[in-house]
Structure 1
Amino acid sequence: MTGVPTTVVVCNGRLRELVARGTRELPVSFDLPTRLGRDSDSPPAAGHVGRTGVAIDSLDDMRVLFSGIPLGRVSPAMAGGAPAAVMLLLYQLVAEEQGVPVNRLSGTVLSAFKEYAVGRVHIFPPRPTRRLAADLLAYCRAEVPRWRTAPAAASAVGTLVRGGPTAEARQRERIAKLRAWRCQERVAAALARLGAAAADRGGNILYPMKWALAAGATVGEVCDVLRAEWGAHPAHSSGVYG
């Protein structure tokens, strides 16, 4: 199915079909740029957007992905890669907008350190990766107690619909519109707050990360702030995929 656009709209339709058939465990896989914490309009993302899963650049994308899905009655298995915490926070923000109580949210996401340990997708050095994984676990216990941070054995939405050049063009248009319409001052302030929290070894990094995402920051911008403070894993320090 190579060449078929894998947009958030297409994947939302697939998820709706699964729910209509009675499926409650929803498999979701993100594309390589998303799993490496890069926005779809960044130079390294060219040629990879939507190829192995759906591209999620912002809260708006997550809204579309789960539009019409009863989040209190499903359990997504999200293969989020290194930015697993970001994917969970975006999902939680969508649920909050839909009025779904946090104690009804359940799902699974692959934790950052698990990805590092098995030699898959990793974007930060070992020490901050361990911090991010620990903060994710602590956040889930405190805020989303039914959420699991372990690998999920599920086929991925991205293997059902693969993207191509059209999907990449559409995603770049989406992120361009986001950047044009959001409040830049609010985003800058939230990212600065995130940077200060990343530089400080105390406190849970997920809280300022959630505020930044809610303000309109993109997945890539959040991860870039963390890279600036924590450094990048040598395998991805050049920003080139391989």
Structure 2
Amino acid sequence: MSAAQYNARYRRLVGGGATVLSAGFDLPTQLGYDSDHPDAAGEVGRAGVAVDSLDDMRVLFGGVPLEAVSLYLTADGPAALLLLLYQLVAEEQGVEGERLRGTVRNDILTEYIVRGRGLFPLVPSLRLTADLFAYCRAELPRWRPLSLTGHRLVRAGASPVQEAAFVLSHGIEYVRTAEGAGLDVEEFASRLTFRSGRRVWARVMKERFGVRWPGVPGAWLPRFLVGDGIDAGIGGLLDRVEALGGAAAGIELGFQRHEIGWEGGILGAATVPGDQFRGGSAVVLRQRERLAKVRAWRHGQRVDGALGAVRAAAGGTGNVLYPLKDALAAGATVGEACGALREVWGECLAPNPPDEYRISFTGPPAREPAPKEPYSAPG
């Protein structure tokens, strides 16, 4: 799907009175590759929009009054870069950061479970997440920097209890990440969008972090997850994750994949309804042409200097989003910016077959894998 096709749809929606929009990205964009990268072959514009540069984001939101809409960005690994591109387009429209509203999914822990990989190794990925949290607090105060959902875990085979427990464990890991970045835990946690186990989450936040409020605004509890017995099941599995050192440590051991019996590889981007939004050879050629023009027209030395600043920040302790924003504004592509970070942080490759994971458990998974049926949120 091209940015122009998406834009036409946005303008129709806004013209009809819509105030909430969502953006889903193709697999290369989600993996931090430009459309002309060899690993992007066959996936450009499929089941989402290809965004390689600021130029693509301009097309995507051209003519859309960004101060009047709330945007949901379906992004995880490249969430920071895509949000920065959106902010840059808004600034070109004269919309300051404090007027932008929206949410970014940015759930890298679920990404590791269902895809078996991320853009970067887990520790620097959490560092980037912490930098995004801090950046949103300072520059985009109305933006929610994280949305936690469990539907992808269900697609990978998680039971309702596993879904809730693992999502809750991710929430704890992200709160710890925010706390480590010097953010106020109570303020940060109140900005999460969350969809699982309200009572367990409230208890965890009170007991482990001293948060006074009783729950998360906007959270819902599925009808089949009601009752003290279910809460006990969620809490028990949550305690097992915490005993390993938390969600991130469990992922490195392969615990979550082992428990849900997930033996798949990469779950791709969410399907976009309508064949007219599918990618194809025309989209691939268009994206390659656009990339060539961007690289020909930009100031090469300025881009090189900006990417050098990204590498320096990645190797230090400062917030990497500020030099990333400068690099993207100078004309660096998403793939080039991710490449600069990979040079310092390393790359996370697809895992080996499941029997070679670093799992420290014996015997079969705790439950048989659930049928891979489409997930429907409870009504």
TM-score (norm 2): 0.58
Does residue 88 (structure 1) correspond to residue 83 (structure 2)? The answer is yes
- Counterpart of 2:105 in structure 1 is 110
Q: Which amino acid aligns with 1:230?
A: W
- Counterpart of 2:263 in structure 1 is none
The answer to which of 104-113 and 74-83 deviates more is: 104-113
From 36, 43, 58, the equivalent of 1:63 is 58
Aligned equivalents of 1:101, 1:74: Cα separation in 2: 14
* 1:148-187 alignment, distance < 5 Å: 148-151=144-147, 158-160=272-274, 161-187=277-303
Instruction: Specify which structure has the bigger relative contact order, considering alpha-carbon pairs within 8 angstroms and separated by 6 or more residues.
Output: 1
Q: Which amino acid aligns with 2:94?
A: G
Aligned 8 A contact 2:57 2:89 in 1 = yes
Aligned 8 A contact 2:76 2:111 in 1 = no
The number of equivalent residue pairs is 229
- Counterpart of 1:232 in structure 2 is 347
Does residue 124 (structure 1) correspond to residue 240 (structure 2)? The answer is no
Q: Which amino acid aligns with 1:179?
A: R
Report the structure number with the largest CA radius of gyration: 2
- Counterpart of 1:240 in structure 2 is none
The CA deviation at 1:118 is 4.5
- Counterpart of 1:33 in structure 2 is 28
**Aligned CA-pair RMSD:** 1.9
- Counterpart of 2:267 in structure 1 is none
Aligned 8 A contact 2:30 2:78 in 1 = yes
- Counterpart of 2:186 in structure 1 is none
Q: Which amino acid aligns with 1:193?
A: A
Gapped runs of 5+ residues in structure 1? 1-5, 237-242
Aligned equivalents of 1:223, 1:9: Cα separation in 2: 24
From 36, 44, 48, the equivalent of 1:49 is 44
- Counterpart of 1:198 in structure 2 is 314
The CA deviation at 1:108 is 1.1
- Counterpart of 1:239 in structure 2 is none
Aligned equivalents of 1:157, 1:8: Cα separation in 2: 16
SS class of match (1:22) = coil
Aligned equivalents of 2:272, 2:332: Cα separation in 1: 24
- Counterpart of 1:3 in structure 2 is none
Would the alpha carbon gap of residues 38 and 29 (structure 1) be closer, same or farther in structure 2, given more than 3 Å must change?
Answer: same
The CA deviation at 1:115 is 4.2
The CA deviation at 1:112 is 5.0
Aligned equivalents of 2:346, 2:107: Cα separation in 1: 15
Aligned equivalents of 1:106, 1:133: Cα separation in 2: 19
TM-score (norm 1): 0.89
